[in-house]
Amino acid sequence: MVKPRNPLYGIEICEHGGKVESDKKSEVIDFSVNLNPYGPPDFVFDVIKEAMAEINKYPDTECSELREKISRKFGCGKEEVLVGAGVSELIQLVALSFVKHRALMLKHTYGEYEVAAKMVGAKTKRIEMPAVQINPEAIVAGMMKDDVVFLCNPNNPTGQYLGKNEIEQIIAEAEMVDALVVMDEAYVDFVRNAFPSHDMISSTQNLIILRSLTKSFAIPGVRVGYAISSEENIREMRKIKAPWNVSAFAQKIGIAVIGAEGDDFLVRTVEKIEMSKKKMEEAFGGAIRSDANFYIFDVCDGKASASASASEVKRELLKHGLMVRDCASFGLPAHIRFSVKKDEENELLIHFLLEKEHVLRKQ
């Protein structure tokens, strides 16, 4: 038997939400995935029907039309855009292209960054998050030459968003030491008054922005995301991108949602999500806060002795048809993560979390 490459030893398969047994999916309200509860938009299904006519052809390996649409939307050059089969593929392309010796990432963040770094044999350094908060100064202090810094903004699972001044501080240090900042903005469409980070691309070689269409439009079955960076950085990633990596269906849907109809859908639905967030935060009495469309919640109430309670709460909620994510894989075994859904669904979760004592904190 041929043994795997040494870097693969010690890598664990990254855990994700949405693991509901297929025969029970119709019975479960899934709060473990952070999708727009009002999607997919109706016009997506018309696009899928149209794309069926191209099923007997290879998709455009360069995603030319979609890249053109993205470049017009964000005011960048077409050669500064790369389309991938979701952000997960783009993370791996970044690692294969740029990770040399070490990757930096937050202590509590998306697990695929570590997998990608270890896949290429690099070391990883976790940036501490006192009180489960991002400290930009700690990121700056930890950077060294040739580091690749993976930054989820807003962060998964904590929901914290770093604003323009904080990101500029991090990028300035990256330019100083010659490190690369990879900013994963998978949830940025849900952030109120998010700053246009893409405007920074024209002034730095030390930034790659990753965006997803999955969460905003609730189309996880369609793998499509994109990277925006300097033409030089995108060129290196294109060299190793798999041919025909984005299906004809995904390209057509991407073209449709990156436009006026998609913008209108987001404006309408994000406003509804914001109103739902206010109701949820009031119900929790200020115990939860997030800049994104999901929350983490300490079900142990800060009690170190109750470290197993998050998984117990998850199991109890599932008995009532409610699926949340326990955050043990994020290094937060006392926390659960749940997304914002429609009001009537949110009310069910609030009821069982806050009113059913046997589900929440066992005294």
pLDDT digits 0-9 by tens, 91-107:
999 999 999 999 999 99
0.75 exceeded by pTM:
yes
Q: Say what the pLDDT of residue 77 is.
A: 95
Strand partners, 14: none
Extended beta strands in the chain, E state = 29-30, 81-84, 102-106, 123-127, 148-152, 180-184, 207-212, 225-228, 294-298, 322-323, 325-326, 335-339
Where do the CATH 3.90.1150.10 domains begin and end in the chain? 6-40+271-354
Q: Say what the pLDDT of residue 243 is.
A: 96
Residue 143: pLDDT above 90?
A: yes
Among the listed residues 221, 228, 273, the one whose alpha carbon sits nearest the alpha carbon of residue 247:
221
Strand partners, 225: 84, 212
CA 331 vs CA 42, 128, 322: distances in Å = 38, 11, 22
* Class level of CATH domain 43-261: alpha beta
Q: Say what the pLDDT of residue 21 is.
A: 60
Question: How far is residue 322's CA from residue 315's CA, in Å, rounded to a whole number?
Answer: 9
* Class level of CATH domain 6-40+271-354: alpha beta
Question: How far is residue 363's CA from residue 349's CA, in Å, rounded to a whole number?
Answer: 20
Question: Which residue's entry shows tokens 């429609």?
Answer: 342
Q: Say what the pLDDT of residue 306 is.
A: 47
Where do the CATH 3.40.640.10 domains begin and end in the chain? 43-261
Question: How far is residue 348's CA from residue 350's CA, in Å, rounded to a whole number?
Answer: 5
Return the percentage of the chain with pLDDT > 70, whole number. Answer: 94
pLDDT digits 0-9 by tens, 8-18:
888 888 888 87
Judging by DSSP bridges, how do beta strands 81-84 and 225-228 pair with one another? antiparallel
Considering only residues 209 and 359, tell me which one the structure prediction assigns the higher pLDDT. 209
Return the percentage of the chain with pLDDT > 90, whole number. Answer: 84
CA 96 vs CA 38, 77, 87: distances in Å = 36, 23, 14
